[in-house]
């Protein structure tokens, strides 16, 4: 239980408040090793030691091979820490359907937040044509079937799809829309994804990030106090 509370509190401290709730719900009935990976990963956001997270992930993988939720999250974490090959291995081992276009409609509908990330990984690990086709299908699904995802983005981060396709204008607009709606969920983690490198130098992105930091800073002190009150001593 201590690990669950630490994981939730750490995620919340960095502005991932909804993520903290999900972590608490999931980890309360999952392995504490997964909580340790989350804690290590979140610490790496400030210590800049991705090797710690990657080593924790590799130790954990045999224990979570039957859980798509945990595998999906550690694949995401591996990618944010710069190991694209490990991310690909985890994604395709846990869900080989990503290599089968006939399975994409169901996968995209069920995992639309992951589809564009997997597509980018495929495109950058030797499966350019397959990844491009998956990216096009996932983006079309979001824009045509779920217009609120782009008009009122919060959970889905549609800019990941746009950045994977090289459309920086749509990506910047998506980020600015999230900021205007005060949707700050998981920015610090998601924006570590390598496709964001396309816009890190852009003044509009830098301005959006500075405003995000300001808003999170206002909340951080109270969140840290709440987290400290929940963690048992000893």
- 164 touches 119 (CB < 8 A): yes
**pLDDT tens-digit readout, 92-114:** 998 999 999 999 999 999 888 89
- The string of pLDDT tens digits covering residues 22-52 is 454 454 444 545 445 555 555 554 455 667 7
Better-predicted residue by pLDDT, 215 or 164: 164
Helix (H, G, I), strand (E, B) or coil at 182: coil
- DSSP letter (8 states) at residue 75: H
Domain ranges of the chain: 151-234
Q: Residue 54's pLDDT band (boundaries 50, 70, 90)?
A: confident
pTM: 0.76
Determine how many CB atoms are found less than 10 A away from the CB of residue 129.
Answer: 9
Q: Which of 114, 67, 130, 123 is nearest to 93 (CA)?
A: 67
Distance (Å, rounded) from C-alpha 56 to C-alpha 33? Answer: 9
**Burial tier of 133 (Cβ tally within 10 Å: 0-12, 13-18, 19+):** middle
> CB count, 10 Å around CB of 45?
16
């Amino acid at each position: 239980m201590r690990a669950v509370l630490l994981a939730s509190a750490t995620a919340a401290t960095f502005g991932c408040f909804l993520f903290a709730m999900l972590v608490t719900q999931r980890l309360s009935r999952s392995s504490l090793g997964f909580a340790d990976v989350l804690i290590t990963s979140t610490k790496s956001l400030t210590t800049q030691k991705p090797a710690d997270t990657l080593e924790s992930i590799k130790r954990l993988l045999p224990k979570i091979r039957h859980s798509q939720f945990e595998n999906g999250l550690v694949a995401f974490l591996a990618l944010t820490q710069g190991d694209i090959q490990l991310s690909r291995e985890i994604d395709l081992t846990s869900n080989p359907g990503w290599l089968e276009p006939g399975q994409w409609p169901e996968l995209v509908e069920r995992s639309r937040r992951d589809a564009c990330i997997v597509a980018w990984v495929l495109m950058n690990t030797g499966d350019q044509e397959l990844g491009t086709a998956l990216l096009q299908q996932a983006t079309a699904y979001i824009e045509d079937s779920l217009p609120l995802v782009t008009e009122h983005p919060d959970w889905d981060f549609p800019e990941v799809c746009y950045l994977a396709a090289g459309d920086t204008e749509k990506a910047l607009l998506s980020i600015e829309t999230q900021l205007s709606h005060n949707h700050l969920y998981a920015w610090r983690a998601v924006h570590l994804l390598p496709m964001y490198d396309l816009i890190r130098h852009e003044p509009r992105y830098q301005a959006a990030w500075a405003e995000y930091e300001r808003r999170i800073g206002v909340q951080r002190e109270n969140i840290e106090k709440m987290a400290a009150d929940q963690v048992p001593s000893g």
